[in-house]
Structure 1
Amino acid sequence: MRIVDGAGVWTQPPAGVANDWVEHLRVPDLSVGTYCIPAGGLDDQRPHTEDEIYVVTAGRARIVTPDGTAEVGPGSVIFVPAGEEHRFDEVTEDLSLLVVFAPAYGSRSAVRPTGSDRG
């Protein structure tokens, strides 16, 4: 067992950075991290090579995918399949997301992304 401290907790992105991604746990079959976007901020992520689940722990925004859009807030759980375009926009309150990747983030890509590639 392991308690994953800090997962899903809001963190202000560093100065000059649009958002913040921190990976808290990584094993071959999954990874867990926190993705934070400040109110009015930019979500500049690109599709991932792994399936992904977001759990909104704080804030409000809209998620946009090719299939449509949805308003999300605390308690919302969002599944995004590998390769699907998606982004959060209209971030009206500081947005904190607990993120679970399966398998682990970047494990299916030729080059493991860095934190700045996560977005």
Structure 2
Amino acid sequence: MQVLSSAGRFAPPDPGEGRRYTEELRVPDLSVGTYCIPVGGEDTQSPHTEDEVYVVAAGRARLTAESGTVDVGPGSVVFVPAGEEHRFTDITEDLTVLVFFGPAEYTRRDA
């Protein structure tokens, strides 16, 4: 067992950065991270080669994807399939999101 004590806690981005991603755990079939975007920050991510599940721990925003748009807030859980273009927009409260990649992030990138 491993306790991920810092997972899901807001950590502001470094100066000049609009977001922060911290990987909390990596095993071959799963990775877990905390994604933080402050009000006024920008989500510039590209589609991933792995499936993702987002669990919003704090904050409010809109998640826009090829398959639709949804408002998210604490407790929201959203699945985004591998390869789908998506990003958080309209961030009205500092956003903290737990991100689960299956398999681990970038595992399929070189496949």
Q: TM-score, normalised by structure 2?
A: 0.97
- Aligned partner of 1:68 in structure 2 is 68
- Counting matched residue pairs gives 111
SS of match in other structure, 2:96: strand
Note the aligned Cα RMSD (angstroms): 1.0
For structure 1, the 5+ residue unaligned runs are 112-119
1:60, distance to aligned residue in structure 2 (A): 0.2
Higher strand share: 2
Give the distance between the partners of 1:24 and 1:68, measured in 2 at CA. 28
Q: TM-score, normalised by structure 1?
A: 0.91
For 1:26-105, list aligned pairs within 5 A.
Answer: 26-105=26-105
- Aligned partner of 1:114 in structure 2 is none
SS of match in other structure, 1:49: coil
For structure 2, the 5+ residue unaligned runs are none
SS of match in other structure, 1:79: strand
Give the distance between the partners of 2:103 and 2:39, measured in 1 at CA. 30
Give the distance between the partners of 2:84 and 2:67, measured in 1 at CA. 10
SS of match in other structure, 1:100: strand
Superposed CA deviations along residues 30-62 of structure 1, whole A, max 9, x for unmatched, are: 000100000121100000000000000000000
Superposed CA deviations along residues 7-43 of structure 1, whole A, max 9, x for unmatched, are: 1110000000110000010000000010000012110
SS of match in other structure, 2:74: coil
1:5, distance to aligned residue in structure 2 (A): 1.4
Give the distance between the partners of 2:5 and 2:32, measured in 1 at CA. 11
Give the ranges of 4+ consecutive aligned residues of structure 1 lying more than 6 Å apart after TM superposition: none
- The amino acid across from 2:81 in the alignment is P
Once the two structures are aligned, what percentage of the paired residues are identical? Answer: 59
